[in-house]
Structure 1
Amino acid sequence: MLRKISAVILMCSLLVNVSCSEDFLDTKPTDSISDKDAFASVENMFLVLNGLHRQMFAQSPLDGASGSRAGQQYFQPMFDVYCGDLIHSSRGNGWMRSGLQWLDHTNANTTTVRNLWYQRYHFIAAANNLINKTAENGFPEGDADVANILGQAYAYRAWAYHQLVTTYAKGYLIGNPSTDLGVPLLLEAGAPYTSEPRSTVEVIYDQIEEDINKSIAYFQNASAPHDKSHLSLNAAYGIKARVALSKGDWAIAADAAARARDGFPIMSEAAWKSGFNTVELSEVIWGGRVIDAETTYYRSYFYYICPTFNGSQNRSNPKTVNIERFNQIPATDYRKEAFLPLAPNTNSAASNGQGGSYLTDPNYDNATDFNQAKADIIARYGMTSRHNTHPYMHVKFLQKNPGTIDPDDVIYMRSSEMYLIEAEAKAMLGDIAGAQEALRPLGEARDSAYDVTAFNTQDSFIEHIKFQRYVELYGEGFSWHDHIRWDVGIDLTNSGAAQVLYQNGFIQGKPSVNDAWIWKIPQAEIDANPNISEADQN
């Protein structure tokens, strides 16, 4: 009964007042409770927040969104796929194919550009309601539970706007933020259908920074988070670190990252190799705890990314590592074991043209060895006999119950990311010694022969950070925005990706000179919002 009530409040909190169209009024659920009741008590506001936590990984029932994009479960792997860091080995069943070919985010009419836009604005609308109704109802901000609600609401709004402005606008560090167009700024409940014009990138960042600082202030006096799926003081500092990193506020980024990871120790080797399938891992600061009743099955993170998930996306299309990056991993670094360079190419439809048998796979010269290699991988990792294998496939993400469609958790933020942010920020400040000390704990935990002093100039250290972020955060959704921040283009010539599959996505110029890195504003938004015209399109 509680789940049903919570779902109803979710629908109310995210759909009430988000559109003025007659179509919206016709499809509004008849059992939704009133906006007034949804925010009438602190207890109800927590239920609204619970709805937001679920929307991070749920198939979206929201106006303007789509059930085919289940929140971060879709967008995290997508951001790695689109820039060729999480490589598809075949055409598979079509998921993300148009994205990796750069046909998706460059088209204003696609589901992907529409869904990311509207889903983030639904988060903003709900956060606006939580913030504004708290004041309207006279709830005491000094109350620990009210402070918790406001801390989470401001953090969600900051996170959502940061996702929007870093995706639908030119990168802060490579553009002119005071004049570059960002996204509509809305501080009242309501999505941007007939709302506001595009504010500048600078204005949006100013609001993000104000929001995340308010979030941190409220969390200082808030009740403790009930679960890692809830935003917390540490998560707010993590968001602040990401925001500061993306705009070059290096000192703020370093300080916030150090605060974010406090209390979340680096994982052991055994934990790192366990599959990244639970928020109970010591490093997880923020993540979605997915239970059986709320799983999205064939729209889940593990469906898109996990080599053992029993779905057609991974049975036919195991994801591989960039071979150039793999070759940079020292033999003493246990993360190298997350990739299988000699996995047999068993898929006759593999895009590199070498799949199907030992006759086409250059790593094998007889059927016995070829078949035994596949059998060994299936036995070790728990795939089914229908799963294909492919050279350089990853085994980083593994199900708790391999070979099934059972749900697993989704990790949004880890302390390893925070070590990497602090190290990068200090290096950009010219503090190479400080950067080395910031990175040392992570490097030494992963590589038994690690020597951080080998990277003793700013240029060499930043190149090393790029390598470390790729290996440590592989598949966790950071590559797209990393490329923008570093102003690095795409060249998959020696990566193992097939040009026949990747097409436009095989080579792309760096973001500062290539506006294709900026996502199109959804055509539905331009059609509905009188304050945004075709002239405002990216």
Structure 2
Amino acid sequence: MLRKINLLILGILVVFVTGCSEDFLETTPTDSISEGDAFASVNNMFLVLNGLHRQMYAQNPLSGTASSRSGQSHFMPSLDAMGGDMIHSSPGNGWMTSDLRWLTHTNATFTTVNNFWYERYHFVATANNLINLIADNGYETTDPDIRNILGQAYAYRAWAYHQLVSTFAKGYLVGSPSTDPGVPLLLVAGAPYTSEPRSTVQVVYDQINSDIANSISFFNGASSPDNKSHLSINAAQGIKARVDLTQGRWSEAATAAAAARDGFPLLSESAWLSGFNSASLSEVIWAGTVIDSETNYYQSYFYYISPTFNGSQNRTNPKLINKEAYDAIPDTDFRINMALPLAPNTNSSASNGLGGSYVTDPNYDNEDDFWDAWEAIIDEYGMTTGHNTHPYMAVKFLQANPGGIDPDDVIYMRSAEMYLIEAEAKAMLSDISGAQAVLQVFGSSRDSAYDATAFATQDALIDHIKWQRAVELYGEGFSFHDHIRWDEGIDMTNSGASETLYRDGFMQDKPSVNDAWIWKIPQAEIDANPNLTEADQN
């Protein structure tokens, strides 16, 4: 698209091939195919799509981007750190420190905004190529494989534009969509490779709504997905549920969420506590099935968030759950085991200033108990002796092979999220009993004493759903945009975060009165796009 001509056609000029079956996914995937060959067969079009599946998690710098912030697997923990749900305990090796301080998305020249923008426009450009060239080459849309390809292409374009417009524009529910500037809307492929000005937020959402409707339509009668890396009709319904929720289309969001979770049963206690490292978990609707030989290791999802990953980011900076959210988990809820509130603070560089020994850690009064507690955690979870621990450290995300750097799957969508979307939408419709019924099914799967009737008003339901999302979806990348939808600011006072570490990210006013929630457009885009000027900058 925008910065360089070859970004527009990258989806067909260079495709990272991950194959179309489980067998292919177990082999080394890197290859490329020519523009002429990319659409010469159905199999090659699946290879184009597989390049997108892999781009969601892999370390492949696209034109105009850097490998240091690769794919959705980087931005999920980044957005949760910025949104205040995933707490950093120290600066660690520096990764994401600027993100949580709110210094990256407010800087138009920073790599973070650059990668977020160009990576998502890569998805748009590739989807455009698939959609338009299928039509131009006369493929029969009754063919199940063609319907699968189109279903995925339209879903990816809807997903990418929703990511862009909800990040680089004012929130739909807190702004004026019909007049607020959105993002450039590109629907064509090929010469003359020109860009477009910013469309309004409403126009962009109109296209997203159309694309996801087309996706769902094409998935009806389509061939089945090979694995959960591939988008499916359930994933498309899940994207629709997210998009509808963002717009306040409550009834549509509830219906789509219920459809998305169909066939994906909620996790048992043992499965929930197993580490969220496998796409095979029953709840997983959409995930990156990571290929061992093609992982990005020290820029992978688990490198950022897993307490067991053997990297300097986690050894020196165990991630914490927000203390307020965790302390509200009842003893009857097995998710109380997702964090360790009494883990000893072994890091002398911990940002709360209480780390290094039993002398500074208020939870311990002698050296033996302090180090015995650390050793017990290291042994139980398979960390190395170089790993530090910290009170309220999260142990939700655990490697299948702890203490190493082996890759694990990256989960993008679960049925638990869909239950919470459906409940929120019904609550916003003032359907109190309907919201309670959905929550009862979900909540009782986590808490043996759960009683949804305790939340008898719309306000009580919404507050409870906000808490459920903070606990259930911790680390999965939703908190930043949740704050925008709810028009809530950030106040980390009682979270366990250090104001010294977080700085501007420690407290922010609500999005409706605070444009710092809107990411800067990359300066490179302003400079290169003839349809944008400095006046278009956020």
TM-score (norm 1): 0.94
In the alignment, the residues of structure 1 paired with residue 190 and residue 496 of structure 2 have an alpha-carbon distance, to the nearest angstrom, of 45
For 2:86, the equivalent position in structure 1 comes to 86
In the alignment, the residues of structure 2 paired with residue 237 and residue 453 of structure 1 have an alpha-carbon distance, to the nearest angstrom, of 28
In the alignment, the residues of structure 2 paired with residue 285 and residue 34 of structure 1 have an alpha-carbon distance, to the nearest angstrom, of 32
SS of equivalent to 2:123 = helix
For 1:508, the equivalent position in structure 2 comes to 508
Contact 1:57 1:73 in 2 (8 A): yes
In the alignment, the residues of structure 2 paired with residue 290 and residue 73 of structure 1 have an alpha-carbon distance, to the nearest angstrom, of 11
In the alignment, the residues of structure 1 paired with residue 33 and residue 11 of structure 2 have an alpha-carbon distance, to the nearest angstrom, of 12
Contact 2:314 2:387 in 1 (8 A): yes
Once the 2 structures are TM-superposed, how far is the Cα of residue 73 of structure 1 from its aligned partner? 1.1
Q: Deviations over 1:18-60 (max 9, x none)?
A: 9xxxxxxxxxxxx954322211211110110111100010112
User: Partner amino acid for 2:342?
Assistant: L
In the alignment, the residues of structure 2 paired with residue 504 and residue 440 of structure 1 have an alpha-carbon distance, to the nearest angstrom, of 38
Once the 2 structures are TM-superposed, how far is the Cα of residue 61 of structure 1 from its aligned partner? 2.6
Q: Deviations over 1:415-434 (max 9, x none)?
A: 00000000000000010100
In the alignment, the residues of structure 1 paired with residue 247 and residue 496 of structure 2 have an alpha-carbon distance, to the nearest angstrom, of 32
Question: Is 1:14 equivalent to 2:15 in the alignment?
Answer: no
In the alignment, the residues of structure 2 paired with residue 17 and residue 210 of structure 1 have an alpha-carbon distance, to the nearest angstrom, of 28
For 1:185, the equivalent position in structure 2 comes to 185
Contact 1:60 1:69 in 2 (8 A): no
Once the 2 structures are TM-superposed, how far is the Cα of residue 222 of structure 1 from its aligned partner? 0.2
- Structure 2 matches for 1:297-376, cutoff 5 A? 297-376=297-376
- 58-67 or 155-164, which moves further after superposition? 58-67
In the alignment, the residues of structure 1 paired with residue 530 and residue 53 of structure 2 have an alpha-carbon distance, to the nearest angstrom, of 32
Q: Deviations over 1:246-294 (max 9, x none)?
A: 0000000000000000000000000000000000000000000002111
Once the 2 structures are TM-superposed, how far is the Cα of residue 13 of structure 1 from its aligned partner? 4.3
For 2:146, the equivalent position in structure 1 comes to 146
In the alignment, the residues of structure 2 paired with residue 229 and residue 512 of structure 1 have an alpha-carbon distance, to the nearest angstrom, of 36
For 2:158, the equivalent position in structure 1 comes to 158
Structure 1 pair 412–191 and aligned structure 2 pair: CA distance change class (3 A) = farther
For 2:171, the equivalent position in structure 1 comes to 171
Contact 1:122 1:191 in 2 (8 A): no
For 1:445, the equivalent position in structure 2 comes to 445
In the alignment, the residues of structure 2 paired with residue 191 and residue 520 of structure 1 have an alpha-carbon distance, to the nearest angstrom, of 28
Question: Is 1:281 equivalent to 2:281 in the alignment?
Answer: yes
Contact 2:14 2:32 in 1 (8 A): no
Once the 2 structures are TM-superposed, how far is the Cα of residue 69 of structure 1 from its aligned partner? 1.4
In the alignment, the residues of structure 1 paired with residue 209 and residue 536 of structure 2 have an alpha-carbon distance, to the nearest angstrom, of 25
Contact 2:308 2:398 in 1 (8 A): yes
For 1:6, the equivalent position in structure 2 comes to none
Q: Deviations over 1:119-177 (max 9, x none)?
A: 00000000000001101111100000000000000000000000000000000000000
User: Partner amino acid for 1:480?
Assistant: F
Contact 2:283 2:414 in 1 (8 A): yes
For 2:473, the equivalent position in structure 1 comes to 473
SS of equivalent to 1:446 = coil
User: Partner amino acid for 1:469?
Assistant: R
In the alignment, the residues of structure 1 paired with residue 8 and residue 343 of structure 2 have an alpha-carbon distance, to the nearest angstrom, of 46
Contact 2:345 2:354 in 1 (8 A): yes
In the alignment, the residues of structure 2 paired with residue 248 and residue 518 of structure 1 have an alpha-carbon distance, to the nearest angstrom, of 19
For 1:23, the equivalent position in structure 2 comes to none
Structure 1 pair 17–360 and aligned structure 2 pair: CA distance change class (3 A) = closer
In the alignment, the residues of structure 1 paired with residue 371 and residue 521 of structure 2 have an alpha-carbon distance, to the nearest angstrom, of 48
In the alignment, the residues of structure 1 paired with residue 9 and residue 223 of structure 2 have an alpha-carbon distance, to the nearest angstrom, of 25
Q: Deviations over 1:468-518 (max 9, x none)?
A: 001000000000110000001001111110011000111000000000000
For 1:7, the equivalent position in structure 2 comes to none
For 1:412, the equivalent position in structure 2 comes to 412
User: Partner amino acid for 2:516?
Assistant: A
Q: Deviations over 1:426-483 (max 9, x none)?
A: 0000101000111111100000110100001000000000000010000000001100
Contact 2:8 2:190 in 1 (8 A): no
For 1:396, the equivalent position in structure 2 comes to 396
For 2:431, the equivalent position in structure 1 comes to 431
In the alignment, the residues of structure 2 paired with residue 295 and residue 11 of structure 1 have an alpha-carbon distance, to the nearest angstrom, of 25
SS of equivalent to 1:521 = coil
Once the 2 structures are TM-superposed, how far is the Cα of residue 521 of structure 1 from its aligned partner? 0.3
In the alignment, the residues of structure 1 paired with residue 410 and residue 530 of structure 2 have an alpha-carbon distance, to the nearest angstrom, of 38
SS of equivalent to 2:317 = coil
In the alignment, the residues of structure 2 paired with residue 330 and residue 500 of structure 1 have an alpha-carbon distance, to the nearest angstrom, of 31
Structure 1 pair 261–356 and aligned structure 2 pair: CA distance change class (3 A) = same
User: Partner amino acid for 1:421?
Assistant: I
Q: Deviations over 1:182-234 (max 9, x none)?
A: 00000012699841000000000000000000000000010001000000000
User: Partner amino acid for 2:414?
Assistant: R
Question: Is 1:256 equivalent to 2:253 in the alignment?
Answer: no
Structure 1 pair 233–521 and aligned structure 2 pair: CA distance change class (3 A) = same
Once the 2 structures are TM-superposed, how far is the Cα of residue 14 of structure 1 from its aligned partner? 2.3
SS of equivalent to 2:183 = strand
Cα-Cα RMSD:
1.7
Structure 1 pair 15–312 and aligned structure 2 pair: CA distance change class (3 A) = farther
Once the 2 structures are TM-superposed, how far is the Cα of residue 321 of structure 1 from its aligned partner? 1.1
- 70-79 or 247-256, which moves further after superposition? 70-79
Q: Deviations over 1:286-339 (max 9, x none)?
A: 000002111110010000000000000000000001111111111111101111
In the alignment, the residues of structure 1 paired with residue 84 and residue 420 of structure 2 have an alpha-carbon distance, to the nearest angstrom, of 21
In the alignment, the residues of structure 2 paired with residue 82 and residue 482 of structure 1 have an alpha-carbon distance, to the nearest angstrom, of 11
SS of equivalent to 2:163 = helix
User: Partner amino acid for 1:397?
Assistant: F
Structure 1 pair 190–351 and aligned structure 2 pair: CA distance change class (3 A) = farther
User: Partner amino acid for 1:14?
Assistant: G
User: Partner amino acid for 1:65?
Assistant: T
SS of equivalent to 1:230 = coil
- Structure 2 matches for 1:200-211, cutoff 5 A? 200-211=200-211
Can you give the 5+ residue segments of structure 1 that lack an aligned partner in the other structure?
A: 1-9, 19-30
In the alignment, the residues of structure 2 paired with residue 404 and residue 113 of structure 1 have an alpha-carbon distance, to the nearest angstrom, of 31
In the alignment, the residues of structure 2 paired with residue 374 and residue 477 of structure 1 have an alpha-carbon distance, to the nearest angstrom, of 29
In the alignment, the residues of structure 1 paired with residue 192 and residue 332 of structure 2 have an alpha-carbon distance, to the nearest angstrom, of 51
For 1:59, the equivalent position in structure 2 comes to 59
In the alignment, the residues of structure 2 paired with residue 47 and residue 133 of structure 1 have an alpha-carbon distance, to the nearest angstrom, of 15
Structure 1 pair 513–349 and aligned structure 2 pair: CA distance change class (3 A) = same
Question: Is 1:120 equivalent to 2:117 in the alignment?
Answer: no
User: Partner amino acid for 2:149?
Assistant: I
For 2:378, the equivalent position in structure 1 comes to 378
For 1:245, the equivalent position in structure 2 comes to 245
For 1:458, the equivalent position in structure 2 comes to 458
Q: Deviations over 1:92-111 (max 9, x none)?
A: 00000011111100000000
SS of equivalent to 2:399 = coil
For 2:483, the equivalent position in structure 1 comes to 483
How many residue pairs get matched?
518
User: Partner amino acid for 2:372?
Assistant: Q
In the alignment, the residues of structure 2 paired with residue 355 and residue 189 of structure 1 have an alpha-carbon distance, to the nearest angstrom, of 55
Can you give the 5+ residue segments of structure 2 that lack an aligned partner in the other structure?
A: 1-6, 16-30
Contact 1:17 1:190 in 2 (8 A): no
Q: How high is the sequence identity, in percent, across the aligned residues?
A: 71
In the alignment, the residues of structure 2 paired with residue 124 and residue 331 of structure 1 have an alpha-carbon distance, to the nearest angstrom, of 46
SS of equivalent to 1:412 = strand
User: Partner amino acid for 2:453?
Assistant: T
User: Partner amino acid for 1:43?
Assistant: N
For 2:18, the equivalent position in structure 1 comes to none
SS of equivalent to 1:68 = helix
For 1:108, the equivalent position in structure 2 comes to 108
For 2:22, the equivalent position in structure 1 comes to none
